[in-house]
Every structure is written in structure tokens, then in C-alpha cells.
Structure 1
């Protein structure tokens, strides 16, 4: 398997894939277990239901929580396996073909768009902050940035040299990009839900 535009293994990226995948999978697993508790006893008090604002029960029972006809966490249980496998494979010396990276980037783009939609639904429709959902947001956003910047900087996704160079430079600033994204979400949540007022 060949990896266009890259002569060295993206080790740091691989480590992130594994860490993000494990965290994302655990969040999906925890949400799945909470959903099973709800199915067994609709009156159960879920461990993630901390307050009327910070809870996951309302999210799980809403139509937004089962967009494709099954609980959303099942997507996480299956989807987060991919970054773990890819990360471990890279660390083991694997090099993936262009088509593989493009499909992987497409999958993460879907995950990113879906998460942004879920964030909007939580903040503007449901009026809740789901703890395990937020963990998913926490790892999905930087993982998307990392993959898109990687396929751009390596030329896997064809782009002018200036864009490739810019992507390579931005890769070093990826943590800041993620923090800025979190800050934007936090500001919107504050204006929409008065999080600080609810806490204090």
C-alpha cells in the first residue's frame, strides 16, 4: 500500500487516532449502556442525568437521538473502531493507498458534519448538554481537522502547493484550532442556555 506525498510515518497522527478512537468508543459505549437502561426501565435515573441542563436522557429519547432508525451511539461503537485500527496499523508500519485515505477522510467529514448538527440540535432545540455527547464532540472535531490537514499536506487530496504548505503549517496549530472550536461552542452554549447561570 502506498501513501502519496509522505515518506515518513505520521506517528503523532497515528497516536492521536488511537487515543481519540478509544475515548470516542468509550463515550459511545457509555451512551449505549444508558440507552439500554432506559429501554429496561423508562423511569430509571441515568448516571449521566446530572441536572435539567446537563443530561443525556432527553437526547437519547428524542428523534435526534435515533436519526437513522437506531440509537446514534451505535454509529460511534462501529465508527470509532476505524481510527483505532488505522492508528495501530500506521504504528505497525502500514502505508495506505490514496483511495483509502480519501475514504477515511470522507467518513470523518460525515462524522464532523453529523456532530455539528447534533451540537446545534442540543443547543437550539433540546436545550441540553449531554456529557457523553460532549466527549464525542471533544475528539471528533480535532480528528476531522487532523485528517483533512494530513490529506492536504501530503497531496493525497490534490491541491495547489500553497494550500499544501498552509495545511502543513496548520497541522502544528491543530490543538489551537480545536480549542478555538470548543470556545465557539461554549460561547454559543452560554448565550443560548446560560450555562454559567445554571451552574452558579
Structure 2
């Protein structure tokens, strides 16, 4: 049986929805934005994202956390850890983030996202000021010491390959809107800085 020809990308035309993103935001009485937390494994991104969401929720804001490992358990479970797969992982995460911002939510992304080019591409999906890059700059030595998932040990023993910071590079942000070092700042103070930064912006 012959396969039907696939639809080319040029024939796909996004449907123009009648309800605007501004109308959705107005309904929630908030300005939707994406806070993109990037940093090494063990830097504290997921813990910080979770604590920040709880704090924003208590302020009556509508939020959602997109955690790198959670997405890899579902939407991105077909992807490996090569550089190409990591780029696709970040592309998908950025697209989902954009959809959630369009839905009127404050989205908190927690993902290593090691490459500047992919983070820059993610930023390009958003209107000016709607993408806030947060560099969780906890030093490598502290992250490796914490090693909450045993990944640094496994990478050093050669049991896993292409691990960021060991045998795969991490490109630190050059112009992040905010920087948090969880070695220096406790979680409560870090949340206060981020929530204050969000309200100020």
C-alpha cells in the first residue's frame, strides 16, 4: 500500500484565535512572563522554582513550573543527551513555555539549558520583557559536592557520557537579568529576590 504524501511545512497555516493573550492575562489580573532558570545540575534550579511558585501562589498569581526532568519523563522522553537532543529538548521546552505565557500564566522553567544559542532562541519567542533569564550560578565544586542524583559521580566513573560540566560544556549567560548563587543565598532570600525582581519588572 502506498503511503499518502506528507503535508509540507509551507502548507501549515496557524489558525488565528479570537481570544488574545492580553485578554487571557487580563482575566488573571497579571502580566504573564517566562522566568528561565539555567545552571549546572545540583545548582538548586528545581528547588528554587518550586519554592518560588509556592510564594507566587500565595500572592494570588497563576503559575506553572516546567522542570527539565519532568518534561524528559513525558514530552521529551524520546530524546537522548547528545548536543543535538539537548537542543531539541530546549526547543520543545521553549515552545511550551510560550504557549503557557500566551495562556496568561507566569511560567518558571528549571533546566540546565547549557548552550547560549538555544537560550537566545527561546528568548526570541517572547515579546520584549516577557523572558527573564535567571542564572543560578552555584559553582561547579558545590554542585558536584551536592550531587543529589549521583550524576557527577557516574560521569567521573564513565558510566554516563556528555554530562554538563564534566565532559560536555556549560555556557554561562553573559547578560542574565538576574543571578542567584544558592551557596550564598538561602532559599527564602533567593525567592524574595526573584519575586521582588518579578514584581519590579
TM-score by length of 2: 0.27
> Higher helix proportion, which one?
1
User: Comparing both structures, which one devotes a greater share of its residues to strand?
Assistant: 2
TM normalised by structure 1 equals 0.27
